[in-house]
Amino acid sequence: MQADLICVGNELLTGLIENSNAGFLSRRLWAAGIEVRETAVVADDGEAIRSALNRALEHSEIIIFTGGLGPTEDDLTREAIASALGLSLNLDQKWLEKIEHFFNMRGIKMPENNRKQALIMEGASLLENRAGTAPGSILKWEGRLLVLLPGPPNELKPMFDDLVLPALKDFNRGSLSRLKTLKCCGIGESSLENKIKSLENWDLPPISYVARGYEVHLQLKGRGSAAEAAEAIEKGESKLRGLLGDCIYGSDDDTLAGKVAELLGEKGLTLALAESCSGGLLSSMITDIPGSSQFYRGGMVAYSGEAKTGSLGLARSLLEKEGQVSEPVAMAMAEAARANFKSDLAVGVTGIAGPDGGTAQKPVGLVYIALAGRCDCYCKKFNLGGGRLAVKERTVQMALDMIRREILNNYGQ
Amino acid sequence: MQADLICVGNELLTGLIENSNAGFLSRRLWAAGIEVRETAVVADDGEAIRSALNRALEHSEIIIFTGGLGPTEDDLTREAIASALGLSLNLDQKWLEKIEHFFNMRGIKMPENNRKQALIMEGASLLENRAGTAPGSILKWEGRLLVLLPGPPNELKPMFDDLVLPALKDFNRGSLSRLKTLKCCGIGESSLENKIKSLENWDLPPISYVARGYEVHLQLKGRGSAAEAAEAIEKGESKLRGLLGDCIYGSDDDTLAGKVAELLGEKGLTLALAESCSGGLLSSMITDIPGSSQFYRGGMVAYSGEAKTGSLGLARSLLEKEGQVSEPVAMAMAEAARANFKSDLAVGVTGIAGPDGGTAQKPVGLVYIALAGRCDCYCKKFNLGGGRLAVKERTVQMALDMIRREILNNYGQ
């Protein structure tokens, strides 16, 4: 069974917004055993939407639209589909009341243009939007399943997971395709490929390698009947896990920060941070995780020398002797964070994110990451490339991997 | 003049990789006065590529392909296009030597499958690839311009900027399209549309509205000759600026954080932060900006009550009396950050990001943001929705907008 995605929005075609919904939906559909045949990005234009729909109807059983469900005049998705299929649009009184309530809660009278967000195609079921005023909808039509989702990712994602996936599983009872992504950290793409190719009796399913900063993701594809696809992947995964050990931190939707949070929770450990060049990004990645207040004690962004001596309490003589970007300062930052916030583990980060501030001896991309734990404190030195944001991102990946390995190695059973 | 993008690659359709090339190319094409009509993402499959090509040929004068130019068996873009147009593929001897040299430099004999990367369609010109073995190519065919680009962004981007853009400008001597994005904060999408529609003598160019959390971006489209397009946009922009005043914080590539950084720099002001529910995201957004160490003194992520009393120095009695999520605590956090880091301005943020921790009186999404400045400290209360990450993101947008307005209002000439 195949799906087509049709993403509607001028903002996507002008490049104002990256189309993150397509990636999200593709991953989810594959995970549900449904192959994505094609993704189209089209303008907020009735004719463009209808033409993409007609094309998709020729090839795919499942057609998913994103965007164009807003209150403004250029939001045309539901109108275009209804006209293409010859369906009427009916007012959903209950949803209209929800929208009115949504505005009342904020002390505002509902603008008249929001009224059209309560229109729904005849025969379709409304999908509730818990984060906004645009409901989605789902329609069975001549053996196809059509799904309309709002564009904002924070509205689309929970709606898809909670309401669309169950309907898709019910609709798709045929053959399956399977993908499994194993996520690695702390090993380069080439080393990984060489290691995998060195396996004797090579009979793994096809693998794609994708490097994401300091992570490498391995994607295994299984085909055939549901049982065949699952068996090929299971076999491949077990071989790779045996070979790569804790270089694999997780799979599919796992994230490195999520994995660290899970480990901290399991062991009942707390964490504190003192960041310089990563500038709060490490803290923000940690606090993206629901429930992180259970283990995250707090952090300091010591972006200036004064912050390092003042709030963090480092000795001025240490900074003068070693320089702000140095191993002893990273270690002192980690230890100060651990003491100030009374945590089990603490990370100290100092480095030069660039574009300015580098010297011949201490170039842009030089980063020290220190980890203070129960027994000791140690520091790693990195030379990172790729510009300011890449340096921040890779610093965070390495720091998270250091915490992960520290817990696995020193806080085991 | 219109362009179609056709992005070829299974890794895009499985969602393993986000399609960042489409956004990049769209922005570049619009900046060159060329509208993007549609973007299609198709599989590494000859039939899929040919069918997307035929569709694009019906509508657009410019067709740009990305991906599928590698050495492996599933790289099919050039073969599929050649067969669709009835063109032969000829070996480019010079490029073959380059590929051989590329491998020799690494001490490896060129694998035989790389040979096909030197094949080029009859009539096409080869586009050199400075970062890899896959050359691009450009072909004038029956009044259309076809461009084939390699998939890896670090190969595609310089090739497009250095070799394709000049050819496009040469090819496109007709009418132009122009875009201008005006970025607003502190006003909702519907209110914005109503305000704009209330303008008498409505003669603005077409506007797209895009909501991004608490920002709304207005995209104006100008068409016609270069002069006509520019004039339409200029006229529209000036009317909108008159109407919306400092709700517009910037345009095109501006970001709210970047604008705040610019204002801080202009006025010689320094900033400090004390974050609870935003968890370091505000700090990270500020430190994404090159040169932020000039004005950013530092920040504290006081994620626990202990961090607020300990490192930040708030009175325990205050927390007990008012609760961690309260106006007095937000204000005390801002004032403590301002004093600790010796900054001109400081922001204190406390709230409930969720999904847990909410009560009937203090629900998830309740956020207090306080701003301490030269003269006074004030606090705003928000009820934010959309889930944990959306609460963080919106909190940061509102905090940045508060800083921006504070500087505009109280630190003027």
For residue B201, what pLDDT band results from cuts at 50, 70 and 90?
A: low
pLDDT in tens, A204-243: 787 877 777 788 888 888 877 778 888 889 999 999 999 9
Contacts of A297 in chain B (CB under 8 A): 303-304, 306-307
Q: What is the pLDDT of residue A202?
A: 62
DSSP A205: P
| Residue with the two structure tokens 């709210």 | B256
Mark yes or no for CB contact B283/A301 under 8 Å. yes
Looking at the complex, does the CB of residue B309 fall below 8 Å from at least one CB of chain A?
no
For residue B405, what pLDDT band results from cuts at 50, 70 and 90?
A: very high
Mark yes or no for CB contact A13/B26 under 8 Å. yes
Mark yes or no for CB contact A303/B310 under 8 Å. no
Tell me the nearest-neighbour CA distance from A103 into chain B, angstroms.
11
Return mean pLDDT, chain B.
Answer: 91
Write the DSSP string, A37-84. EEEEEE-S-HHHHHHHHHHHHHH-SEEEEES--SSSTT--HHHHHHHH
Mark yes or no for CB contact A40/B43 under 8 Å. no
Q: Please name every residue paired with A348 in a beta bridge, in sequence order, or none if there are none.
A: A274, A370
Mark yes or no for CB contact B15/A38 under 8 Å. no
Element at A281 (helix H, strand E) = helix A281-287
Q: Which domains does chain A have, with CATH numbers?
A: 2-171 (3.40.980.10), 178-251 (3.30.70.2860), 256-410 (3.90.950.20)
Residues of chain B numbered 69-98 and touching chain A (CB < 8 Å): none
| Residue with the two structure tokens 């520091």 | A379
Q: What is the pLDDT of residue B50?
A: 97
pLDDT in tens, B208-240: 888 888 899 998 988 888 788 889 899 999 999
Looking at the complex, does the CB of residue A307 fall below 8 Å from at least one CB of chain B?
yes
Tell me the nearest-neighbour CA distance from B154 into chain A, angstroms.
11
Mutate to test the interface with A, among B34, B41, B75, B195 (most CBs of A within 10 A): B41
Mark yes or no for CB contact B190/A71 under 8 Å. yes
Q: CB neighbours (10 Å) of residue B374? A: 11
Which of A14, A154, A292 is facing B179, going by the closest CB pair?
A: A14
Q: What is the pLDDT of residue A283?
A: 97
For residue A196, what pLDDT band results from cuts at 50, 70 and 90?
A: confident
Looking at the complex, does the CB of residue B288 fall below 8 Å from at least one CB of chain A?
yes
Answer whether residue B193 shows pLDDT above 80.
yes
Query: Which residues lie closer than 8 Å to B359 by C-beta, 6 or more apart?
Result: none
Mark yes or no for CB contact A300/B311 under 8 Å. yes
Mark yes or no for CB contact A342/B279 under 8 Å. no
Contacts of B25 in chain A (CB under 8 A): 15
Burial of A93 (0-12, 13-18, 19+ CB in 10 A): exposed
Mutate to test the interface with A, among B157, B287, B288, B397 (most CBs of A within 10 A): B287
Q: What is the ipTM metric for this complex?
A: 0.79
User: How far is the C-alpha of A159 from the C-alpha of A132, rounded, in Å?
Assistant: 11
CB contacts < 8 A, A to B, total: 288
